[in-house]
Amino acid sequence: MNPQLLAPAVSYSTQVLVIGSGAGGATTACLLAEAGFDVLIAEEGPWVEQDTVVPFSLEQMDRQYRAGGVTVALGLPSIAYTEGRCAGGGTEVNSGLYFRPPIDVIERWRRDYRIDGLDLDELALIADQVEAAINVTTVPGSPTPASEVLRRGAAALGWKHSEIPRWMTYPPGGDAVTGRRQSMTRTYLPRAAAAGARMVTDCRVDRLVREGTASIRAQVSYASGLRGEIRCQFAFVCGGAIQTPALLQRSGLRRHIGRSLAVHPTVKLAARFRDEVNIPDDVPVHQVKEFAPNLSFGGSASHPGLVALALSDHWSEFASAIEDWRKISVYYAAITSEGRGNVIAVPGLRDPIVTYRLTSRDRALLRSGMARLALLLLEAGATDVYPSFRGAPLIRHRDQLSTLNQQFAVSKASLMTVHLCSTVPLGEDRSRCGADSFGRVHDAGGIIVNDASLLPDAPGVNPQATVMAFAIRNVRHFIDTNGPSGG
């Protein structure tokens, strides 16, 4: 059962407004509705059925990503990043790879940020429930050829590697490319609808206005151009690590909001093999963790357009390779960055300005990551390796890696990230936390954050499982302390 999609209206009222419908917003809305709260979900993007778009295609970027998938954190160098902008948010467009919340990282957060009531056993139980709800499983049968490349190269080098499970269902006798992603539009949003939650799409919340101690007015604008308002008692802001702090700043809330953006920067390269390896609408499920948590290797989407993009930094030399794209796949090296960024809402601009600054340690890790990734792929049988930085050399043999290392510079590379967090860190340390231990924005009444913004720093793995576990923990605390009547 899909949510009841409401038509644009000048005015709506609800007990709880949930802003955003990704990993944080969908779980929040679901549990609140099932507990008996009157819930309305406001989603800035459209509802797009999964089967109507090809994964990782240009059409998907246009319909389900913010700005067609092209946004950037300014810096030296700048870092491109992606945001889902649709019902289900990033869960509709990402790879679906699932990592349990890293206990050592969460224990550090609890201590350093003074997070009250953070029970590791409770989070583990929540993770069990999430994994059942979204059907976390490994691929039946053999992985794709592009994924096998990572396994083969790591095994040859003796590096730690593993297959990462995904939130997928597979038909009997299915294989790696027959899975159906169990995203929020397939799981928690239908559950929310069954419990009575309503949803309005193409609805942007521009500002939250607090009116007294028990009333909030959300000023909204629709894709049609209509403007209106949604009145509520509580507002859960779940727009992601960029849009959540921007909305809070537009609403006059700025203390420790948007000042500590953390990401996992990546460098990429393309590798050609003797046989066909490219599966355009899927990604490899193997990852290499020999140097984790500081440095990890994996495979990217390799739609022909994305292969061309990976080759474009030295197009004059690499362009001819695109004709052989079926034998080419794109891979990345991701780091856990010590750098930080800012999200700044500027009056008159629709989207915030985002900046990010890498540290010297980050730059050294990215250099090391590019060279080690090239080695991994050569060991896996790559005939040609095309690093993604301006003026990069073509790599065909191990003895060319020193040249790669000498010529690489972060300032010449096409850096990007898909993991964004930490812009409203939670905890009781008011010298750096924008929200309390359960996501309630400090001194903001009924405004609560419940998405990746709350994670105190980048966890070193795909953060969505951690986001969902924290969101469910926080909602359960809210239900226990408020109850459906709001008392």
The residues assigned a catalytic role are 419
User: Whose structure tokens read 């301006």?
Assistant: 390
Is the CB of residue 263 less than 8 Å from the CB of residue 458?
A: yes
Q: What is the DSSP string of 286-347?
A: EEE-TTTTTEEEEE----HHHHHHHHGGGHHHHGGGGGGGGGEEEEEEEE----EEEEE--T
Task: Give, as one character, the DSSP assignment of residue 90.
Answer: G
Query: What's the half-sphere exposure (Cβ side, CA atoms, 13 Å) at 408?
Result: 29
Long-range contacts of 125-131 (CB under 8 A, 24+ apart): 126/468, 126/469, 126/472, 126/473, 127/100, 127/101, 127/465, 127/469, 129/472, 130/27, 130/465, 130/468, 130/469, 130/472, 131/98
Structure tokens at 125: 């139980």
Is the CB of residue 220 less than 8 Å from the CB of residue 227?
A: yes
Is the CB of residue 167 less than 8 Å from the CB of residue 182?
A: yes
Alpha-carbon torsion, ordered 73, 74, 75, 76, to 10 deg:
100
d(CA 288, CA 265): 16
Q: Radius of gyration over alpha carbons of the chain, in Å? A: 22
d(CA 374, CA 468): 34
Q: What is the DSSP string of 419-451?
A: -EE-SS-BSS-TTT-SB-TTSBBTT-TTEEE-S
- Which amino acid does the sequence have at 435? A
Structure tokens at 363: 């730059």
The closest of 404, 382, 378 to 392, measured between CA atoms, is 404
List, in sequence order, every beta strand (DSSP E) within 56-202.
Answer: 71-73, 79-81, 136-137, 161-163, 166-169, 180-181, 198-200
**Helix axes of 464-482 and 23-34: crossing angle, nearest 10 degrees:** 30
